[in-house]
Structure 1
Amino acid sequence: MFRQKKYLKKDPQYVFDFIDQHPFATFVLQGEDLLATHIPILIEGTSEKFRLYGHIAEANEQYKFLKDGIEALLIFHGAQGYVSSSWYKDINISTWDYSAVHVNVKLKLQSREELETNLQNLIQKFEDDQRDPIYYKDLPRDMIEDHLPLITGFWCEPLKVQAIAKLHQGFEKDDVHSVCRHLEERQDLQSSQLSKNIKKEHGTGH
């Protein structure tokens, strides 16, 4: 990952929380060529020592290359957006603000029992906020038995972690304020979240 020094994020807790809050990842591994899939990846453990896990369908082209010990790359994406030169007090270069975490990992296939446990965790994480949640235990057993043979779960042991947050560090306060205001005027969720991230980075809001 290309990272200028001023945009580096080295705090392990930042990385852990970022992954937990942005679990829909790009999963990249080497097959006959580079292959990528977009899947939820969850994190467990602590900021100092964690592992990740996910699953893919056996119909996925990546499946035939999935085996113990191979390396893969997980990319977790935060809010991002274009920043126009016209938003600055003085003419400057237009740019793009964003945040991301890359984790190079070694894979280990899960047992059926591990896969089921992790599916329970995955569903619980996202159903807890639903008005009428349906958890793994609520699904018909015959439906589960039909679907389990069609997917494969895997653990991801981190080998290298890199994080970046390019959020207008080094800019004057007036320009940062203007960037946030223009982002909010777009009235879309991603621009709104990016504005919040910039304000938090500069200590001017949450």
Structure 2
Amino acid sequence: MYRPPKYRKDDKEFIFSFIEENPFASFILKGERLLATHIPVLAEGNAEDFRLYSHIANHNEQKAFIEDGAEALLIFHGPHAYVSSSWYKEKDISTWDYTAVHVNARIRMQTAEELEASLERMVERFEKKQESPLYYKDIPELMLKEHLPLITGFWLEPFKIEGVAKLHQAYAKHDIAAVTKKLDKSDSSMERELSAAIRKENKTD
């Protein structure tokens, strides 16, 4: 990942929180060519020591290359947006602000029991926010028996982790204020989230 020093984010708490808050990742493997799938990837552990887990459909082309010891790259995406130089006080170059975390990891295959346990945790994670949640235990047993053989679960054990946050660091306060004001007015929730991240990073109101 290209990371100029001022944009690097290697703090363990930042990394872990970022993954927790942005679990929909790009899962990339080297097959006969580079292959990518977009899947939810969750963390187990804490900021000091964690592993990731997920699953894919068996008819996915990546399935043929998922095995113990294989390397995968996970890309977790945060808010991002185009920033026009027309917002600045002086003429400048337009840019794109963004946040992301890259995780290089070794794959370890899950047992059938581990797959079910991880699915239960994943469903719990996302269903608990619903008005009438449907938890794993609520899914009909026959449906589970039919679907579980169609997916493959795996652990992802990180060996290299890189974070980046390009959030207008080192810009003049009046330009930061102008950028966040424009983003706050956007109809896009992502652009408003980016504005909040820029303000937090630069410690501005």
Aligned with 2:82: secondary structure? strand
1:114 and 1:19 map into 2 onto residues whose CA distance is: 21
Aligned twin of 1:158: 158
Which residue identity does 1:70 align to in structure 2?
A
Aligned twin of 2:3: 3
Aligned twin of 2:173: 173
Over the aligned positions, Cα root-mean-square deviation in angstroms equals 0.6
Aligned twin of 2:193: 193
1:10 and 1:57 map into 2 onto residues whose CA distance is: 32
Q: Deviations over 1:126-177 (max 9, x none)?
A: 0111000000000000000000000000000001000000000000111001
Following superposition, the deviation at residue 11 of structure 1 comes to 0.6
1:118 aligns with 2:156: no
Aligned twin of 2:66: 66
Which residue identity does 2:62 align to in structure 1?
Q
1:175 and 1:137 map into 2 onto residues whose CA distance is: 52
TM-score (structure 1 length as normaliser): 0.98
Aligned twin of 1:97: 97
1:31 aligns with 2:31: yes
Aligned twin of 1:183: 183
1:12-31 alignment to 2 at 5 Å?
12-31=12-31
Q: Deviations over 1:12-36 (max 9, x none)?
A: 0000000000000000000000000
1:131-142 alignment to 2 at 5 Å?
131-142=131-142
1:141 and 1:36 map into 2 onto residues whose CA distance is: 31
TM-score (structure 2 length as normaliser): 0.99
Which residue identity does 1:48 align to in structure 2?
E
Following superposition, the deviation at residue 54 of structure 1 comes to 0.3
Aligned with 1:178: secondary structure? helix
Following superposition, the deviation at residue 89 of structure 1 comes to 0.3
Aligned twin of 1:42: 42
2:186 and 2:33 map into 1 onto residues whose CA distance is: 38
Q: Deviations over 1:70-109 (max 9, x none)?
A: 0010000000000001000001110000000000000001
2:135 and 2:166 map into 1 onto residues whose CA distance is: 37
Specify every segment of 5 or more residues in structure 2 that has no aligned partner in the other structure, as ranges.
none
Aligned twin of 1:85: 85
Aligned with 1:133: secondary structure? coil
Which residue identity does 1:71 align to in structure 2?
E
Identical positions, percent: 54
Following superposition, the deviation at residue 204 of structure 1 comes to 2.2
Following superposition, the deviation at residue 185 of structure 1 comes to 1.6
Which residue identity does 2:182 align to in structure 1?
H
Number of residue pairs aligned between Structure 1 and Structure 2: 205
1:51 aligns with 2:51: yes
Following superposition, the deviation at residue 184 of structure 1 comes to 1.5
1:50 and 1:57 map into 2 onto residues whose CA distance is: 24
Following superposition, the deviation at residue 202 of structure 1 comes to 1.2
Which residue identity does 2:171 align to in structure 1?
F
Which residue identity does 1:181 align to in structure 2?
K
